[in-house]
Structure 1
Amino acid sequence: MRPLLAGLLILLAAASATAQPRTVEVRVPRTFGYFLGDLVEAIVEVETEPGFTIQAASLPQPGPVTYWLDLRRVETETAGTRHRLHLTYQTFYAAIDARTLEVPGFPLVLTSADTHGATTAPIQVPAWNLGVSPIREVQPARRADPAEYLRPDGQGPRLDPAPPRTAALALAALALPALLLLARDRAWWPFRPRPARAFAEAARRLRSLARQPDSEAGYREGLLALHRGLDAKAGSRLLADDLDAFLGRHPAYRPQADNLARFFAASRLAFFGNAVAEARCRMPLAEAEATARQLAVAERAA
C-alpha cells in the first residue's frame, strides 16, 4: 500500500506543478496622474500550460473593491495558453496631495478537465500601485478679497445679430408662399371649398328663365334645372317614387313635399305625356321658381 500511496502523491504533485501558470503580469497605460472619478484600464495576462483555462466563477465581480475604488467592467480573452483579463476601475479618492495607492490583487483558479477528471490550481494576481493627484491646491496663496480666488469670466466674441436676422426674415418670406401652397393643396381656409348649393343654382336658373318669353322649350328647361338640383342634392337620379326616401334623409325640405309631388307630376306630363299645357296648369314656371327658392332657403339654413 505504501508504494501505491507514494505513487499517487507523486502524480498529484506533478499535476499541481503542471497547473502552475508560467507568468502572471499586470499592465496599465500609466500608473500616475489620475484624478477623482477617473477610469483606470488594467490588463492582467496569465500564461498557463496547455489545456488550462481560468475558471469563470473565480473571476472578480464588478462592484466596490475598497472604499475609494470600484471595479466597473470585466472582460476575458483567450488565445492559446495566454489568457487576458480587461479590467476597468474607477477611483473615488479625493487626494489633497500626489500620492501612491495600492490596488489590491485577487485570486484566480485554473482548471483542466480530461478523461481522468479535473485538475484545479489557485493563482494570485499581485497588487499594483496607482498614483493619484489633487484637483486643486492644498494651500492657495492668501488674498485680501475672497472673490479673487475665483477665475474671471471669459471674454466671448461679440456677435453681429444682422446676418441671423436677415436669414430668418428670408426664410420666413419663403415659408409664407410654401404655407399658402400647402393650404391650397390641403383645402385649408381660405381655400376650403364651400359646399355646393344645388337648389340655389336651380333657383337662379328658373329666375332667369321666368324673365324670358314664355315657351315650351323654356318651360322644359326650367323643369330640368329643378331636376338637376334634386339629383345633385340626392347624389343620384331622383325619381318620383324616391321622393319619400329623399325627404326622410333630408327632413329640412319636408315642408315642400306637396310642391315637389306636384312638380314630379307636371314633369311626367311635360316630358312623357307630351302635355306641356296641362303641366303648366298643374305647376306654372313661376311656382316652380318659388319652390326652388324655398328649397334654397332651407338648403342655406341646413
Structure 2
Amino acid sequence: MNNDERCAWEVMLRLMLLLGVLISGCSGSLEQSVSRFEFLTPKPFGYVIGDEIAHRIVIDTRSGIELNGNTLPKQGELNRWLTVNRVEHSQSKTGQGMRHVVDIRYQVFYAPLEVKMLAIPGFSITFNQRGQAIEQAVPSWHFTISPLRELAVRKDDAGEYMRPDAPPARLSNRETVSRLYASLLIVLLSALYLAFLYGYLPGLPRRGIFKRAQRQLARLPERDIASALSVVHHALNTLNRKPLFQHKLNEFYRNHPDYRKLADELNAFFEVSNRYFFAGYGDIGRDDFGKIERLCRLCREVERGGR
C-alpha cells in the first residue's frame, strides 16, 4: 500500500470516528430531553364495578419540547369494561425546563364473579423536539376488582340471606330535651317580663298608661295646651285610680314611690295646670307644651322601669 492510499484510509477513518461522535452526541441529547418521569397511582386493590381510578403522570423536559396531545388517551370508552371519564393536561416552568402534568380518571364497569386482576393498558406519550419525535412509555397498571356479593348466596327458611349493614348507634336525646325545656322556660319568662312591662298582668302596676298618653300628645297641635294638660291629668288619675291633686302628691308618692324622683316636674305641671284652668291665663308660655311632653316621657320611663 503506497502513501496515497494510506492517507486516504486515515482520512476515511477520521471521518467515520467524527460521524460516530456526532451520532452518539445527538442520541445522548435525545435521552436527556426527559429528566423526570413519575407515574402516580392509587392502591391496586379494593375496587368494585362503577369505581373511578385516578392516575397522574408527571414529566419534566427541557424547554422547547412540546407534548403531542393527540397521543394522550381520548375521553370515552377504552374497551368493553373501561372508560376514560376525564383527561387533563397542564404545564408549568421549572428552572430551565417545563413540567407536564397529565391527570387521567378511569371508570371500571367490570362485574366479576370473584376477585379478579385486571390491567389498565399502557400507552406512549410523544414529545416533539425540532421536528424529531421523542416517546415516553407509560406502563400498564394492574389492580384487583371484587364482586358486589358472593356467587353462592346463603339462604334461610325465609328466603335469601341479605345480611344488612349494622345499624348505627342511636344518639341520646337527653340533652336535646333539656335544651328544649330550657328554651321554653326562657320564652315563658320573657313573655312574663314583657307582660309586666306593659301592665298586662292583673294586680301589678299598669305600664301602658303613659304610652297611650304619649301617642295622644303626638297627635295634638303644638299650641293646644288645654288638651295636653287633660291628657296628662287623665294618665295620672288612671295610675292613681282616683283624681290626683297637687296637695295629694305625698300620698301618691307613698303608693307609687318610683315617681318621687319626678317631684319637681309634677309640681311644675300642677302649677301650670292651676294657672291655666283656674287663674284664667290662656297663653302661659311657648315652652309649656314641650314641658308637658317631657313630663309624660319621664313618666313613661318610670312606667317601664327605666328610671
TM-score, normalised to structure 2's length? 0.47
* Higher relative contact order (CA closer than 8 Å, sequence separation 6+): 1
TM-score, normalised to structure 1's length? 0.48
